[in-house]
Amino acid sequence: INAEYGEVSMDSMHLQLVVLSVLAITTSAGLPSTSPPTVSGISAGGYMAVQLQVAFSETFSGAGVIAGGPFYCAQANLPTALSSCMTSPALISVAELATITRSTVFTGTIDPVRNLESHRVYLFSGTQDTVVHPGVMSKLNQYYLAMGVLPENIASQFSIPAEHAFVTADFGNNCSFKGPPYMNNCNFDSAGAILHQLYPGQIQPPQPADPRRVLGFSQSKFLEVGYTLVTAALSDEGYVYMPSGCDIGKCALHVALHGCLQDWEVNNGLFVNHTYNDWAEANQMIVLYPQARRTAVNPKGCFDWWGYTGVDYACKLGAQMRAVKNMVDHFNLAYGST
C-alpha cells in the first residue's frame, strides 16, 4: 500500500508486505539481522537523534547527525536553544554538558555513558549553514570525545558548501539554497555516507526503492499514558520503509528524523521518499520515519530538543523519546534483530 492511501493497522501492514514479498523477484543479502538499531537526523531531528542515542545507548549503536548539536545543549531553555545551540557555539560548555550527562545516569533516566564508547558517529555540517553554525557541530564532536567515543569511530564532513539542508547527490535545491524542503543537491549522498559509517564494510550500493513499501502507521499507540498526539507534538501518522523480504525475515533497523518544516504534511513526503529508501532496499534495512506535529508551541513541526513538551524532553521520560523508543521496540520485535 502506498502511504498516500492512509494509515493501516499493523495486521493489515503485515498482510500487504507478505503479498509484496511474493511479488518480489529478488532480495539482496543485506545487513546482518543482528545489527543493533541506529539513528540519524537533521537539525531538530539531529538534536533528537543525539538524545535518543545518549538516553537509549543500550539500544542504539550509533548516530548520524546533520546540523545538530550536543546532548541537552538547550537545557530546557528556548533562548539558549536559539543562541548557544544555533548561532553562538562559543557559549556552549562541553565540560558542563558532559558533567550533566554523567550525573543524569544516576537518576536512571538515561543509560550508562560507557555504552557510548563503542558507538559509531557521523557528523555533517555545511560551510554555508546560516541556521546552525558549523561551530555547534564541532562542539558536538568534542562532546562525543568527552563521552568516551573512540576518535576512530567518528567521521565528519565539514567542507561541503551547503546551506541548512539534508544534502543529496541528485535531488533538491541548489547546494547553497536556504529554504523548503531543506533538501539540497550538493552532489554528495549524506544518507549513504551516514550508513557507510554506521555499518562499516557492510553497505551495498543503493537499489531503486519500491514506493508501495512506504507504509503509514498510527503513532498514537506508541504514546505513554497521559499524553495525546497533540501534547506530545506527534502527527497522526508515522511512516516506515519495509524492504523486500523484511516481512518474512529479520532486518536491520534505522530511525531517520526529519528537521523543522520537513514533516510529511508540509513537504508531501519528500524527506521520507528521497533520503534512505534506496539504500534500505539494497541492504535489507527497515527505515522508521517518526513524524512531529505542528502545534501552537511548535509551529514548525520540530522534534523537541528544547523542552516544549516538558523538562524531561531529553531523557527516557520524554514524551517523544518514549514514543520513538516504543516504535523501535515494536518494529524490531516484529521484523528486526530482536
In this structure, what C-alpha cell is assigned to residue 257? Answer: 528524523
Catalytic residue, chosen from 133, 164, 254, 258, is 164
Catalytic residue, chosen from 84, 119, 125, 129, is 129
Residue closest to 42 by CA, chosen among 228, 301, 282, 219: 301
Separation in Å, CA 176 to CA 159, 160, 170, 267: 13, 10, 14, 19
State the distance between the two ends of the chain, measured CA to CA, in whole angstroms: 25
Catalytic residue, chosen from 21, 35, 40, 43, is 43
Q: Is 179 exposed, middle or buried (0-12, 13-18, 19+ CB in 10 A)?
A: exposed
Q: What angle do the packed helices 319-335 and 44-55 form, to 10 degrees?
A: 70
**Dihedral sign computed on CA atoms, order 51, 53, 57, 59:** positive
Beta bridge partners of 64: 40, 122
Are the C-beta atoms of residues 71 and 143 closer than 8 Å to each other? yes
329 as an active site residue: the answer is: no
Residues 6+ apart with CB under 8 A from 192: 169, 203, 206, 279
Q: Which residues are catalytic?
A: 43, 129, 164
